[in-house]
Chains A and B, each alone.
Chain A
Amino acid sequence: MRYLCLIYENEKNYATMPKGESDNVMAEYGAFTQGIKESGHYVGGNALQPTPSATTLRVRNGKVSTTDGPFAETKEQLGGYYLINAKDLNDAIQVASKIPSAKFGSIEVRPIMEFNQA
């Protein structure tokens, strides 16, 4: 079963983080990604540009309206995700608990909705 692990953290932390520390976080992410590739959990994953780069759009009455920034202003922002394959929720929680950002941000684990092709 597939789960999407959404990584939420305060993106401002990265802006103020000393170089050595952010290198460490990058190295931890590298090792984590390598690890879940080897264990067969990895399906995909990406880091996202910070929210000032975000655009939110809506179509109302056929008209597209766009606004600057993310859909909601929150203390923690969506900063990246992993799509993983896991046996069950416990397995998914095991994997998600090792995502480096879990130590300072939070990880939302969402099962992927599977549509049966009959």
Chain B
Amino acid sequence: MSDLVADRIDEIYRSDSRQVLATLIRLLGDFDLAEEALHDAFMAALERWPNDGMPRNPRAWLVSTGRFKAIDRVRRRVSFDAAVSRFGEADDTVVSPLPDDDDDSVPDDRLRLLFTCCHPALSPDAQIALTLREVCGLTTEEVARAFLTPPPTIAQRIVRAKAKIRDARIPYEVPSRSDLSARLDSVLHVTYLVFNEGYLASSGSALTRPDLSCEAVRLARLTLELLPDPEVMGLLALMLLHESRRAARTSPDGELILLEHQVRSLWNRDQIAEGISLVERALSSRRVGPYALQAAIAAVHAEAPNAAATDWRQIVGLYDVLSRVDSSPIVELNRAAAVAMRDGPAAGLALIDALLARGELATYLHAYSARADLLRRLGRATDAMAAYEYALALATQEPERRFLARRLSELSSPGETKA
């Protein structure tokens, strides 16, 4: 019996602890106090539920117990007056238990927590660390491992971010409608950075870190559940469509396989189907944003039975729209690569050379590797080798370096070049 209850508590911890935390932060107005309260509440559950039985609404029980324990802690720590002033006007209700049906505000609390952790007044590194720690519930050690950063650095980042939230009074709220779209951008950006760190690990020997990508997908699902915005759909679709190719993206010995050479039967069909249906929903809304457009491009690739059957006309068209909505040199580079597929390598090369002449992509590895690839296809081996060498000098990731080195050696011994 008690083992069963312990299992159930474990389960509730996994499914509900972040929601309980989010509500406790709102009620207590302090991250650290709320985390201690969360811990105390679960300890109390382990002590009392095996004897008293499960409460009717475990989450409400945990919130009200956590809140009560926090009051207790503050009273013990400082004088009663100081404790009361810390809770402001909420002090008179603070010891009364919450009604069991107070669940209405819970989704709002999680959204509040997400927007607070991704507040643009925090540094991007701090936003990511805080979101993974507080919203996703990763331990400091897990965040540190994911970003190959020493745990004390991450811990310090989180401590500083919480101090800023407290000292500068970053509000614990969902932004007003007028600010929502700018603030949502920041939430989506953090989510996408987490995903990319998992999908295209920026350094180290392994090419991907699937755990982080899973967290990002979970985060986007949560955001979508709370805020059904077309760009949230677009981002979730984009991540699912990228994620669907994970098994095909690396060879068994960890080498990078480009989209055109991937074995498409390895692509995850469920993720593709979900991604495409989200893209369709996002595109049918009036506001089509950059994430939905990138997802649409990924969907065109996903729909092609083989690389040769890719609808490059449609992809170039989507890049045209994307560069109007969200113009950037990287979008232009990708568009140039698509133009090369539609109209031939010479047309793409002219666009890339014009882009590089503007100097904005001077240190961007993929600009040189794309250029090198087009030169190779045009049969200009010497120029291609120079461009690959340049790209190699910019590469920081082992599998990427090996890929470029392989291309270089294929060019220096043309007989072995594969199609």
Contact with B along A87-102 (1 / 0, CB 8 A): 1111001000000000
- Complex: A117 Cα to B242 Cα, angstroms: 57
Residue A111 interfacial (CB < 8 Å): yes
Residue A31 interfacial (CB < 8 Å): no
CB distance from B83 to the nearest CB of A (A): 13
Describe B's contact surface by its main secondary structure: loop
CB distance from B127 to the nearest CB of A (A): 15
- Complex: A48 Cα to B170 Cα, angstroms: 29
> Which of A87, A93, A118 is close to B121, meaning CB atoms less than 8 Å apart?
A93
Residue A1 interfacial (CB < 8 Å): yes
Contact with A along B139-180 (1 / 0, CB 8 A): 000000000000000000000000000011111010100010
Smallest Cβ-Cβ distance to B119: which chain A residue: A89
> Which of A87, A89, A90 is close to B179, meaning CB atoms less than 8 Å apart?
A90
| Contact indicator A88/B167 (Cβ below 8 Å) | no
- Complex: A1 Cα to B121 Cα, angstroms: 17
- Complex: A87 Cα to B176 Cα, angstroms: 14
CB distance from A2 to the nearest CB of B (A): 10
Q: Interface residue count for A (Cβ, 8 Å)?
A: 9
Q: How large is the interface on B (under 10, 10 to 19, 20 to 34, 35 or more residues)?
A: 10 to 19
- Complex: A118 Cα to B169 Cα, angstroms: 21
| Contact indicator A89/B175 (Cβ below 8 Å) | no
Given contacts A90-B175, A90-B179, contact A111 B169 (CB under 8 A): yes
CB distance from B184 to the nearest CB of A (A): 14
Contact with A along B116-147 (1 / 0, CB 8 A): 00010100000000000000000000000000
Smallest Cβ-Cβ distance to B176: which chain A residue: A90
Instruction: List chain B residues, Cβ under 8 A from A87.
Output: 171
CB distance from B16 to the nearest CB of A (A): 28
CB distance from B114 to the nearest CB of A (A): 15
Q: Give A7-29 interface residues, CB cut-off 8 Å to B.
A: none
Contact with A along B357-370 (1 / 0, CB 8 A): 00000000000000
CB distance from B169 to the nearest CB of A (A): 4
Q: Give A64-118 interface residues, CB cut-off 8 Å to B.
A: 87-90, 93, 109, 111, 118
CB distance from B25 to the nearest CB of A (A): 15
CB distance from B77 to the nearest CB of A (A): 15
Instruction: List chain B residues, Cβ under 8 A from A89.
Output: 119, 121, 168-171
> Which of B119, B168, B173, B179 is close to A111, meaning CB atoms less than 8 Å apart?
B168
CB distance from A56 to the nearest CB of B (A): 28
| Contact indicator A111/B170 (Cβ below 8 Å) | no
CB distance from A96 to the nearest CB of B (A): 11
| Contact indicator B167/A111 (Cβ below 8 Å) | yes
**5 nearest CB pairs, A to B:** A88-B171, A88-B169, A111-B168, A89-B170, A89-B168
Residue positions of B touching A, CB distance < 8 A: 82, 119, 121, 167-171, 173, 175, 179
Interface pairs (7), CB distance under 8 Å: A88-B169, A88-B171, A89-B121, A89-B170, A90-B173, A90-B179, A93-B121
Besides A88-B169, A90-B170, A111-B168, 13 new A-B residue pairs in contact (Cβ under 8 A), listed by A number: A1-B169, A88-B170, A88-B171, A89-B121, A89-B168, A89-B170, A90-B173, A90-B175, A90-B179, A93-B121, A109-B168, A111-B167, A111-B169
